[in-house]
Chain A
Amino acid sequence: MTAPRPTSVRLGARLYRIGLRLYPQEFRARFATDLAIAVEDNLEARWHLRGLRGVVAAMVPVARDLVTESIRARLEHAGILQPTPFTAARRPDSPPRKLSRMLTSLREDLLFAIRSLRRAPAFSTVVIATLALGIGATTAVFTAVNAIALQPLPFPESGSLAFIWQVSSESPGERGAVGAVNATDWAAMNTTLEGVGLFRGWRTTLSGVDQPDSLVGGRVSYEYSDLLRIRALHGRPFERNDDAVGAPPRVMLSYDLWQNVFGGDRGVVGTHIRLDGTDWEVIGVLEPGFGMPQRDTTQVLSMLRLDITQHNRGSYNMSALTRLRPGISFAEANADLTRISESLAADYPDTNDGVNAWVRSLHEDTIAEVQVSLYAMLAAGGFVLLVAVANVAGLLVARATTREEELALRAALGAGRGRIVRLLLTEAMLLATLGGIVGLILADWGTRALVALAPASIPRLGEVRLDPWTLTFATVATLASGALCGAIPALRRRRSAEGLRSTRGNTAQGAERIRSLLVVGQVAVALVLMAGAGLLITSFLNLLGEDPGLDPDGILAARLALSDEYIGSESHQNYFASLLDRIEASPGVDAAGSVLLLPFAGGSVGGSFGLPGRPESEDGNNPSAYVQPVSANYFDVLSTPMARGRGFTARDDWAGERVAIINEAAARLYWPDGDPVGERLQLFISLDSQERDTERTIVGVVQDARQWTLDRDPEPFIYVPFEQYPVSSMYLMVKTAGDPTAFTSTLRELVRDSDAELALYRIGPLTEFMDRTLEQQRFSMALITGFAAVALILGCVGIYGLIAFSVARRTREIGLRMALGATAQNVVAMVLRQTSRMLLLGIALGIVATIGLTRYIRSLLHEVSATDPVTLTTVAVVLGLFALLAGLLPARRASAVDPAVALRSD
């Protein structure tokens, strides 16, 4: 083994590996590893010869080679350029002389810039670091936003893929589940779609292996598989007859599952595996990386094998995927489906009145929820870059001022005005390029950090990686920063390049004015960022302050799905009850309850219900509510108090009278004037059959609790004892005295002892489930607050630099004032007045910009207005204090000036 390689070599090789993405994919697949190794070897050899200098010197031809060869490879790949022949060609004519002269002078400028920057290492380091921070931050966020929101989804011709949602006329923007019967009609009657594929999520338990494990995946129709062009890596994809009613159970495995559980053995294709206690034939392995749209993971895929005649037109429990025919727009497809929906409503008014279909592009549907926060983050990154650029421009202006005499001398000796401007621009470009290179490394780390820290609810995180787009973006950001930073001092130079005549005082004053303007801009941009951060923090605190209506502490939750053999049997009803008894009997357990859908765990089951005695609505507008089968002690476990009536008891079992408890939201909505306790209701659909549930008596009203997120207001709920309303899966909730996670293994054992083919999934403390609903807000808040902090620091550095510069320039004046009787306080006040003028202007501009911009993040805010005066004032005060502090340091130094020394200075 060789000794560990020096850092500079590893860094260089790492940069090269990033740069390798410039090559076309095919070439990369063939040679990228070897290329990287060869370059790393080369750099290491140079390091042994000449140390760090050797590595840096070797990087230049390596970079040139990378750029020219990758461009050539891409052109060859695209067929624009013929592959280079082996035979030696005639040498091209030498380039025109003008070009060669320009290149020579560029080379001279570059060498000069390198020399002069090396003479000011502290200045160069600060500038490069500042730009690297700005470019790195923006590029990292861009990489994420680009991969998530801008790039097409990883499916063939993904642009024409869409979901069809069923929507009701009351809530047209809410994506509702689809009825299989309706979808069949859409497929038959449309003129705009390639087909309609149906799918449902699938949770199944794999047994017959070392450890039974719960798998996620989907049950899909053949059309779904066909529309997504699902292919098999081994074995075969689904065929039409796999989807027939009564076809044998067949399954495709994901690549990862095949690798991890079946050791990548191709022999598994054709054999049978055991899912939910049934044998399934493995027909194929999915391609690596395949995942159903909008699912975190897809481990298994099987066919729905729907018997459409057995489905009720009024029951909706599917999702639908479609693909537009070529040349069809989403508007046309939507119009087509609206026409069909209207005709279905006319034919089946009972079920289809007010029911419409909504075709929504897969891409839009996937990213809609995170789009605003993504763009807010991108904007925040861009603002950080702006502040960084303003800072650097200020520094360059200052530097140009101190070099006034040198530059004037050059002009006097015959350097043309254009040449001097070019010199300054070259210097800025060189700095920006170095900043861009370091920024790219920061972006690489930043992107990894973003992906690692981002909440799992953000879609497509797995697709985020540095790619050619990243490089392009970083290059553009670098060039733009260099041009902006360089243009400001260079343009000034153009105007005042009058030669040696110009006195230093005048130009320095002009420089100060420009720098003041830059500082004003920085303050304004920093304020916008801080206001954004402040609003998100306020919003987050408001969220945390919401009363969930339940106490999640000390509760361990886990989902358990029974296998098919339980369904409908007697053991079905008894299984959960006896399991809960056994859990409750374990040491350390205060109580054990269960519920169909755990609060904060997502999902919903609901439907309409009737109120016996009141007339049933003709137009289908019956009362509706979410339905939750629960254990009798559900409300005790969650510490949600009853508002009226009684809770469930052990007597509310299968043999007992049919009962229900409603929440206050339902009571307010449907019994606004009276006491619902003692009233009766009837759920129209029971979960395991298409028949109506029996009539139930309302025995109590429970206080409202949040079910999904802390910012979603309570909605009507009907709770029923699970013993009277059998379901095949439930969340177990175990209330313990100490740390609930300590009970995890015991809970697993208890379940395994009860049935070795069952597996628990989604195990975790209820507090964690609740916390996860806040992840996204917390993430955007943290990121934007981080950016705002960076902008604040850069802004303060800018103010400090300017005031220090200005104070140094006015040393004589200050000395004179003090000699004439000004006190130290007078001097400090004078300097602070200068700071406050810029500050006030910057804050004023910032507030105007904030009011214009924060409305774009309104959808991210909870219970706080986008122009909340308290937040804006707080932010402005904080910014003002920091800025004054930055100005105070040089001001104090100014007040310590010894007049006698100052007057002699210059």
Chain B
Amino acid sequence: MTDATQSGVRVEQPSVAREDNAEGMEFLETFKRRLVFTYLPLGIIILVLLFPFYWMALTAVKPDEQLLDMETFSPFWTWSPTFKHIDKLLFHSNYPKWLWNTMYVASAATALSLFASVLAAYAIVRLQFRGAQLVGGLIFLAYLVPPSILFIPLASIIYQYGLIDSPLSLILVYPTILIPFATWLLMGYFKSIPFELEESALMDGATRFQILTKIVLPLAVPGLISAFIFCFTLCWNEFIYALTFISTTGNKTVPVAIVNEFVDGDIYRWGSLMAGALVGSLPLVILYTFFVEHYVSAMTGAVKE
């Protein structure tokens, strides 16, 4: 079953962000110098990076009259927060439906992509069938094909299949964005699993599928979590396909619905618009806070490959 060359597969560390070892010579810097050249620019950059979110959250809880009157009320804070906008959003609009659509499409597309990617990554790394390298290269190339040049022909294909305006169209199309990424990420993790484990399982008569489900996958759980989180975020973020394929209000995803449904001439729309953006971002931010390390390793791992 095994070639001599295969048992020599290099054991690689999975690309998890490593411990900081860059203390180096920084004790030579004075505190004043550090303050001016490190903390000050860092503070400014972080302030700029976070300000839109602060502004989004603040606007979402500000009463309408304070929103537009910047002279009598300080625009940077409010002492009388209101949940009117969020309440209106959650109980008097289609927003829960959109949130559910997004969640449903993202979960289904992610599950489908992970299933396909696990099989593909395992076959490329471990089965090493004829042409495995070529197929791996093709999958990487697929990563470089952006949705912006595919949405027009895809719209006509989806229309021909009769899937237009159905969440199923998004569930089938999103994997083309996710599979290349997830496959490359998982290939890195699978390479790091010692081949000897598989050899002994093969000797004991396990089938390839048993090896995959009972040995490889349990050992690659961190990789699976990374791939899952990243895919889920990408689905949630996807816009152009959802905008093109879905036309009924009730079938829209959050990003599309916010851009199209909330934009009326109402001068007081900002509160509910910002509340919509805030509530739409929260699930991802919560997911992110639990899995920061996996997220970072997914991002850097995919680039390092």
Are both chains from one complex? Answer: no
Contact surface of B with A, Cβ cutoff 8 Å: none
Contact surface of A with B, Cβ cutoff 8 Å: none
